[in-house]
Amino acid sequence: MNAVFSNKGTIAVFVLPTLILFCGIVLIPIFISSYYSLLDWNGVGKGTFIGLDNYVEMFKDTRVLNSIKNSLLFAGASVFIQLPISLVLALILASNVKGEGFYRTVYFIPVLISTVVIAQLWSKIYNADYGLLNVLLQNLGLSSWAQDWLGQKHTALTASFIPTLWQYMGYHMLLMYAGAKSVSQDVLEAARMDGASRIRVAWSIMIPLMKPILKVCLVFSVIGAFKVFDLIYVLTGGGPFYSTEVPSTLMYSTIFDMFRYGYGSAISVFIIVECLVCTILINSLFKTE
């Protein structure tokens, strides 16, 4: 068996189908989008080559810059709110609490629900007339706090954060839970025998040993924030007044509403480069000898 798999030709035969599929659905569309981004094209007929003009315009466009700022805020909320909560939940569940399996399943259920369904659910919760949130505030005597959460610039973006944080918290929790469970019990037992508290064990032993899975969660979280589309599109459509717009929703409206395929492709290339650069930075941050 080892002799078979040591043959480079055999390995190439097994890898080739996946490589062809990867090129067909990932690399080739990226190259095509990169080419379109150099054109002034409305999607019909022949485009005009304009070089890097779309990119120059993009970084002068206040709407694009605002969408980039919103995506960075999404990434910040994911990294500094979602991941810490997921880590705490994972460490608690990994400590053999009663009902561990039940809680693990409950926390993961939102991940299984379609993002469009999640957006519809939360749009009902936020509804200004009959939404659960406003009804709850009124019953608590906080009627002055009730408002149109998705219809105002100063609340729409924060209201859009919460559903995506809620949906994927269980996903990262499960990954971290698996990482915590893989830590040797002998090491943990030795630390407890030396008098280390639960918090000390978690901070000094478990979290450092979970660095590989924490890196994966960080990459997924940041890239997911940069690519968020369906939740924002269904919840607010990027409004009100572009206050919740992110690059992916702006790309969609640019291509399919304004018929600027070249400019929209430039935005898509920027999203790809943004994700790639952040992945490289995160990998270098977690790089160890």
In a domain, 5, yes or no: no
In a domain, 238, yes or no: yes
User: Is 252 buried (19+), middle (13-18) or exposed (0-12) by CB count in 10 A?
Assistant: middle
The predicted-structure confidence for 19-59, as pLDDT tens digits, reads as follows 999 899 889 999 999 999 999 998 888 889 999 999 999 99
Both tokens of 116, joined, read 């469009």
pTM, rounded to two decimals: 0.89
* Listed residue (199, 176, 206) closest to 82, CA to CA: 176
For the chain, what is the domain count? 1
In a domain, 36, yes or no: no
Q: DSSP state, 50?
A: -
C-alpha to C-alpha distance for 179 and 202, rounded to whole angstroms: 12
The CATH number that applies at residue 136 is 1.10.3720.10
In a domain, 171, yes or no: yes
Domain that holds residue 173: 58-285
In a domain, 75, yes or no: yes
Range 246-270 average pLDDT: 93
Question: Going by DSSP bridges, is the β-strand pair 48-49/39-40 parallel, antiparallel, or unpaired?
Answer: antiparallel
Is the confidence at residue 1, as pLDDT, over 70? no
pLDDT of 197: 83
Beta bridge partners of 49: 39
Using the structure block, give the residue that is written with the tokens 């379609």.
Answer: 114
In a domain, 12, yes or no: no
The predicted-structure confidence for 150-187, as pLDDT tens digits, reads as follows 989 889 999 999 999 999 999 999 999 999 888 888 88
In a domain, 8, yes or no: no
Q: Which helix (H) or strand (E) holds 48?
A: strand 48-49
Q: How many percent of the chain have pLDDT more than 90?
A: 60
With beta carbons less than 8 A apart as the criterion, state whether 240 and 151 touch: yes
Beta bridge partners of 39: 49
* Listed residue (177, 180, 163) closest to 110, CA to CA: 163
In a domain, 123, yes or no: yes
